[in-house]
Amino acid sequence: MKNAIPVVDCPGSVCIKAVITEPPAKREVCVQGAAIVRDCWSRVVAATGELALDPKPRKDMVKLSEDEKADRVLGIIYTCHGFLCNSSIQLHLVPVIVLTLLNYILHLL
């Protein structure tokens, strides 16, 4: 099935896969199990302006937390290659500030 999904690069951006282990209860689509979001980073946050970010690769993954103290982990964010993260298993760390912004966006849903 993985090979059936076309590989599309994210020009000028970074491909991400966010695995949200505790999605909001009000989202009926996510009642069973984790929610997985795959997209280009520039569409998740912003392509330009003060929210424009270019996460630098550092490690394998980073935890998505509810606050900057990371007391409660809500999921994991991976950076990867190819749209939908389907062209490489190489993973990198995303800075913690990115997680705070994504968490804020998720709470707005």
Q: State pTM to two decimals.
A: 0.45
Query: Quick one: 109 exposed, middle or buried, by C-beta within 10 A (0-12, 13-18, 19+)?
Result: exposed
Q: Could you tell me the residue range of the domain that residue 16 belongs to?
A: 2-108
The token duo for 100 is 């705070």
Please give the Cα distance from 40 to 55 (Å, whole number): 12
Q: What is the pLDDT along the chain (109 residues), one digit of tens a residue?
A: 455 555 556 676 677 777 777 666 666 655 567 777 777 766 655 445 544 444 444 444 555 555 566 566 677 777 776 555 655 444 444 455 566 667 777 777 6
16 contacts 42 by C-beta, under 8 angstroms? no
Query: What residues contact 58, with CB distance under 8 A and at least 6 apart?
Result: 92, 93
Q: What total number of domains does the chain contain?
A: 1
Instruction: Give me the count of residues in the chain.
Output: 109
